Amino acid sequence: MIAARASLLALLVCWAFVALADVAVPPLSGRVVDQTGTLSAGDISSLTQTLRDLETRKGSQVAVLIVPTTAPETIEQYSIRAAEAWKIGRKKIDDGALLVVAKNDRKLRIEVGYGLEGSLTDATASRIIDEIIVPKFRSGDFAGGISAGVARIVAVIDGEKLPAPAPRQQSDSGSLNFDPLNPFFIIPVLLFGGLIRSLLGRLIGSVASGGLVALIAWYLFGSLLAAVLAGVIASIFVMFSDSITSSGRGSGWSGGAGGGSWSGGSSSSSDSGGFSGGGGSFGGGGASGSW
Amino acid sequence: MRRLWTVLAALATLSLTNCGYNVIQTNDEQVKSAWSEVLNQYQRRADLVPNLVNSVRGFAQQEKDVLLGVTNARAKVGSIQATPELVNDPGAFAKFQAAQGELTTALSKLLVVTENYPQLKSDALFHDLMSQLEGTENRITVARNRYIKAVQDYNVGIRTFPNNLTAMMFGYKEKANFTVDNEKEISTAPKVDFSPAPAPAK
């Protein structure tokens, strides 16, 4: 009895707690995100088309973000946060670029991913800003400045040697990010398993509940590995759960369950409607300017 | 018999988490790679300095002191052995940070001086070098931020219970972190002086 409680306590304290960070970066609703209403719908759709064609042609992802201000952060701090949140560009190839305009601050920045730093160097980005975008911004032509700048960025990227874009396909569920020791998983499994066990007997009950959990995990996460792992762990728990819960369900340990989290299951590839980042990373390269 | 099975089951499940040993290893490796990236970017900046000095010297050779200051600061940075082991040695880490800070100061002095030379500022090569320098400074900042985060994760990992027991058993210590130099200086607001700068000597 005491051994059971002690081992359960040890189990609880070894669980990891996952912290969630705040991000005030707007969600990636499209290739052009304009929070200031500067661009007209026609501008946005033609820009989006140019950027979509670039991705189809080269695989590289470029996005535009216009915000009123980035204060209290500098535009460099905000851009790298936005780039890290959106993760545009292909994973491991890191061929993403982000044009950020802070309209009220009168500052702009081109944030360049690791993979594009060969052609879109700091000097090139700085030239694009100073020679192409800023003159137009100074005369008030924001739409013209952004589209000219984007056109130049696309031209530079076209000159870079990048791996060919992958043909459209359904991606698999990637790495196993299902945490089998998550308290939100264990409690319902134990309750449910206890019920099945009382109906079917110990051995058959634990196998049956393991199989059911495996089916549910397979449906939710699409990965056979996650399903098998979940099923095995569930059946182990159910087999021994009567010695853990004998003194009353949920009394001591439901209070100890902490803030675990499901880290999402599979991610599907983007198709006609949605635009999502490809997992590219950024190192802080690029250039800033002001007008 | 049942008690034995229960204890065995609990131990088996505990072994899945290793009570933090694997977590400590993962965090340690992340600190190492974050530190390598920081060193990489500092090296990139150091490599830019000779070109910058030559370009400025072409237009402003009389500013000998400042140019010499930058060259010396760069030499000092180059003389410090920057290895991955620095993260484990707070004294050496602080020396490294101080040397890099001196190079930063010397570079900003150089930039202030170049304000007086409009011909230099409009030179295309100088403009490119400046944007490269700004880009590198930004990359240094990003790399430092990522390093600080990695060290924070690692230090928290070895200080929280129950992983601190594992850490003590295997001898893992906290890693060195970046400090803010001159905290007192920064906390007082800088004096802004708009009086005209003395005319450059011809």
CATH number at residue B158: 1.20.1440.20
Which chain A residue has its CA at the smallest distance from B153's CA? A19
Sign, CA torsion A170/A171/A176/A182 = negative
**Distance between CA atoms of residues B190 and B54, nearest Å:** 31
Of A181, A148, A206, nearest in space to A262 by CA: A181
Local confidence band at B41 (pLDDT 50, 70, 90 cut-offs): very high
Pick B14's closest partner by Cβ from A14, A236, A284: A14
Sign, CA torsion B23/B25/B30/B31 = positive
Q: Which amino acid is at A234?
A: A
Residues in chain A: 291
For residue B119, pLDDT over 60 is answered with: yes
Pick B131's closest partner by Cβ from A1, A7, A122: A122
| Partners of residue A3 in chain B, C-beta under 8 Å | 3, 6-7
Q: Region B61-88: what's the mean pLDDT? A: 86
Domain count for chain B, please give it.
1
Q: Which residue, among A129, A131, A233, A243, would best test binding to B if mutated, counting the most B CBs under 10 Å from its CB?
A: A243
> Is residue B166 one of the residues assigned to a domain?
yes
**Cβ–Cβ below 8 Å for B10 and A125:** no
Cβ neighbors of A89 (< 8 A, separation 6 or more) are: A60, A61, A95, A96, A97, A113, A115, A116, A277, A278, A279, A280, A281, A282
Bridge partners, residue A64, by sequence: A32, A99
Which residues between 152 and 181 in chain B have a beta carbon less than 8 angstroms from any beta carbon of chain A?
Answer: 161-162
For residue A265, pLDDT over 50 is answered with: no
Within 13 Å and on the Cβ side, how many CA atoms surround A16?
A: 21
Pick B128's closest partner by Cβ from A76, A123, A286: A123
**pLDDT per residue over A12-55, tens digit each?**
555 433 333 334 789 888 899 998 889 999 999 999 999 999 99
Q: What are phi and psi of A110, to 5 degrees?
A: -105, 115
> Is residue B191 one of the residues assigned to a domain?
no
Domains and CATH numbers, chain A: 32-163 (3.10.310.50), 180-245 (no CATH)
Angle at CA of residue A84, ends A83 and A85, nearest 5°: 90
> Is residue B141 one of the residues assigned to a domain?
yes
Exposure string over A208-239, b if 16+ CB within 10 A, otherwise e: bbbebbbeebbeebbbeebbebbbebbbebbb
Sheet containing A96-102: give its strands across: A32-34, A61-67, A96-102, A107-113, A282-290
Size of interface A-B (CB pairs under 8 A): 89
Local confidence band at A205 (pLDDT 50, 70, 90 cut-offs): confident
Residues in chain B: 202
> Is residue B3 one of the residues assigned to a domain?
no
Which chain A residue has its CA at the smallest distance from B134's CA? A287
**Cβ–Cβ below 8 Å for A3 and B134:** no
Question: Domain of B63?
Answer: 23-180
Pick B131's closest partner by Cβ from A3, A180, A287: A287
Q: Region B103-121: what's the mean pLDDT? A: 87
Pick B17's closest partner by Cβ from A14, A127, A236: A14
| Chain A: closest CA distance from residue B202 (Å) | 30
Neighbours of B22 (CB within 10 A): 12
Contact (CB, 8 A) for A33 and A68: no
pLDDT at B113: 86
Q: Average per-residue pLDDT in chain A?
A: 76
> Is residue B202 one of the residues assigned to a domain?
no
**Distance between CA atoms of residues A1 and A8, nearest Å:** 11
Contact of A113 with chain B, judged by CB distance below 8 Å, is answered with: no
Tell me the whole-structure pTM to 2 decimals. Answer: 0.68
Q: What are phi and psi of A162, to 5 degrees?
A: -125, 155
| Cα A70 from chain centre | 22
**Distance between CA atoms of residues B8 and A276, nearest Å:** 46
> Counting Cβ atoms within 10 Å, is residue B9 exposed (0-12), middle (13-18) or buried (19+)?
buried
| Chain A: closest CA distance from residue B10 (Å) | 6
Which chain A residue has its CA at the smallest distance from B127's CA? A123
> Is residue B38 one of the residues assigned to a domain?
yes
> Is residue B198 one of the residues assigned to a domain?
no
pLDDT at A102: 92
pLDDT at A40: 92
Which of the pair, A283 or A230, is modelled with greater confidence?
A283
Which residues between 102 and 161 in chain B have a beta carbon less than 8 angstroms from any beta carbon of chain A?
Answer: 127-128, 131-132, 134-136, 138-143, 161
pLDDT at B171: 84
> Is residue B57 one of the residues assigned to a domain?
yes
Local confidence band at B29 (pLDDT 50, 70, 90 cut-offs): very high
